[in-house]
Chains A and B, each alone.
Chain A
Amino acid sequence: MAPTPDPAPPPDEAPGLPGVRSWRAVYWIVFGIFVLWVSLLTWFTEAYQ
């Protein structure tokens, strides 16, 4: 059986979230929340060390 290529990605659907037009924006927001959590936990660690 021969391999097949990866198909082209399907047409991107809008995320449909208020104030967020693209998936790139959604990803940046989620990444920002992740950075915020790690920063908060780092601060928490320092505060109670």
Chain B
Amino acid sequence: MDIYQCDFFLRAMAAGALCGVMCPLVGVFVVARRFAFLADALGHVSLTGVAVGLVLGIAPGIPAMAVVLAAAFAAEWLRQKERFYAEAFLAVVMAGGLALGVILISKSRGFGADLAGYLFGSLLTVTVQDLYLILGLAAGGVLVILFLYRSLFALALDEEYARSAGFPVPAVNAAFMVVAAAVVAMAIRAVGVLLAGALVVVPVLIAVRVNRSFRGVTVTAALTGAVLVIGGLHLSYALDLPPGPAVVLLGIAVLAGAALVQQAMQFKSDGSKPYLGGQEVARAGGSGHPADQAVTRGDLRP
């Protein structure tokens, strides 16, 4: 049977591609701000929302988004107040959310099959309504990110400078958190609460290895995310694997491959590090700036 004639597979590919694009779009700014753990934490915390939805008999996506949004604002507050321990506190929030979700589910019976889908994703069961919802969230998310792109970039690069230059940092952060919550809710469908963080972060880590510009990383990460989800779906079909974990493992394999290729290329070019240090400039004699050239030649050495 041709898999492309199956509606469920086509819907899964469409929903997966949208999730694959959106997760890294948020991930780029999260990773650049050195807060990648946030994505993982929000994914885990969303289990509480999923549990509330299952217990109340409503679509879990909505309570999951609400819980993730609250957790995202709490995480941002922690980041501002507890600069040095923010990640440690985030681990506490993550564990708390996960524990609460498990307790809620354990007190309610009969959700076993559903729960597995939420824990590890259930792309193959995406309905037409789900697809429309994901499409709407993705369109809204892309618009907000495009609108805020310059401000988000300035914040990711140097938040103190952005504040001093008059960027509306609290408003931009709040809007970003709303998008992040929506994206994590989408990722639950694709790869599940336990693996959502990976879909946010892994495509960004791949893109970072092959780009010099922030814009390049953003575009590459979004495309990579889509390709990984679609590739993972095919892998899942071909090898009879669960789709969510297949997507994540494919991503990690590509990341490892990219790292190996990069290492090999660096080894080939005299062991220098083209993107990750100052050697690239030094090798090229800097900017051509006389001072740079002098430094490279060692003229200014005492």
Q: Are A and B a genuine interacting pair, yes or no?
A: no
Binding site for A on B (CB under 8 A): none
Binding site for B on A (CB under 8 A): none
